[in-house]
Amino acid sequence: MKKLLIILLVLIANLSFAQNDLTSKKVKYITVEGEFETKIEPDEFYLYIVINENQDKKISLKKLEKSMMDLLEKFNINIKENLICVRYSTNIKKFLLKSSDLKEKKEYELKLSNPNITNKVIVALREIKIPNVSISKVESSKYREVKRKTLIEATKDARSKAMDLTSTLGVKLGKPLFIGATSSRINNPYRDNSYDDYEDDEVEMVEVVMYGARKNNKIINFKKIKVSSKVEVVFQILD
């Protein structure tokens, strides 16, 4: 984020200097802001799965874990690439001291690329007695590609606005003298904030979204992610 702010400050400083320079040379120009916004479907869904031993039904952690692996294989999910065990915990010390029964817990992160499969996996995990599932992250792999498109379209929008203004004034639009990207923003409904440098942003669990799926087996309708850009362009005005 700091890098982005520095770049924007440099662009603004250069633009101000350039406009002052143009004024001193008595060059006729017009400054226009263009903008463009689009929406993209998320294609990266991260599930946070917690597996505990079911003491009431006497189902061991190993059995639950195997049931999960078998389930994921049925959905043709590549376990080696998409499933990571992020934490393992046990009360082995208390067990050795005979003060408690042995309990184990494993926490996993599962990456999926299809919203329909994501819904089905959540429901299926619940059916095999693994209900502790949350969506930890929803993202898109096309951020850079789409951001580039929004910058291009925002520049086209600036030119279109400049042409409308100059034709209204009865003058001709000349070549662009300066172009500066004033902002490029990603508005992800599954984040607490929207940032341009999205890779460094921490994401909270989407507990509200999960409630319906966990309790009523409802389908989660994942919202689209907004990507927008604004540019400032200085065009020369011809007599």
- All domains of the chain, ordered by start, with CATH? 2-12+23-41+141-238 (3.30.110.170), 44-139 (3.30.70)
Q: Is the pLDDT of residue 237 over 90?
A: yes
Q: Share the mean pLDDT of the chain.
A: 78
Give mean pLDDT, residues 197-216.
38
Residue 144 CB neighbour total at 10 angstroms: 9
Residue 49: pLDDT band (50, 70, 90) is: very high
Residue 193: the pLDDT is: 52
Residue 205: pLDDT band (50, 70, 90) is: very low
Residue 147: pLDDT band (50, 70, 90) is: very high
Query: Which parts of 132-171 are beta strand (E)?
Result: 133-139
CA distance between the termini of the chain: 42
State how far the alpha carbon of 6 is from the alpha carbons of 10, 53, 85, 175, in Å: 6, 51, 38, 27
How far apart are the C-alpha atoms of 234 and 237, rounded to whole Å? 10
Q: Is the pLDDT of residue 153 over 80?
A: yes
Percent above pLDDT 90 for the chain: 49
Residue whose pair of structure tokens reads 């440099």 in the numeric block: 10
Q: Is the pLDDT of residue 70 over 90?
A: yes
Q: Which of 17-21, 122-126, 221-225 has the weakest average pLDDT?
A: 17-21
Residue 26: the pLDDT is: 77
Contact status, residue 165 vs residue 32, Cβ threshold 8 Å: yes
How far apart are the C-alpha atoms of 141 and 227, rounded to whole Å? 13
Q: Is the pLDDT of residue 138 over 90?
A: yes
Residue 55: the pLDDT is: 55
Does the predicted TM-score (pTM) go above 0.85? no
Q: Which residues contact 168 (CB under 8 A, 6 or more apart)?
A: none
Give mean pLDDT, residues 58-81.
92
